[in-house]
Amino acid sequence: MLPTSVAVTTSLRQRLRVFVGFFITIPKAHRVMVITHHLLVAVALESGHGYGPL
């Protein structure tokens, strides 16, 4: 029986590995589009913050 912290670390490591593998397999153009989309959404949320709910 593994300690909880070791189990959590292992699952996080596996999740990170899956995420990294998934991220690497995405074509570069699509990755850039996704990153740009996230940045635009973040900017929109930040700028919309002072103007009440959208």
pLDDT of 3-50, one tens digit each?
Answer: 677 777 888 888 889 888 877 776 777 878 888 999 888 888 877 765
Q: Does residue 41 sit within a domain?
A: yes
Segments forming the whole domain that contains residue 53 = 24-54
pLDDT of residue 9: 82
In this structure, are residues 31 and 23 in contact, taking their beta carbons and an 8 Å threshold? yes
Name every residue whose Cβ is closer than 8 Å to that of residue 26 and which is 6 or more positions away in sequence: 34
Q: How many domains does the chain contain in total?
A: 1
Q: Does residue 16 sit within a domain?
A: no
Q: Does residue 28 sit within a domain?
A: yes
pLDDT single digits (tens) 39-54: 888 888 877 765 555 4
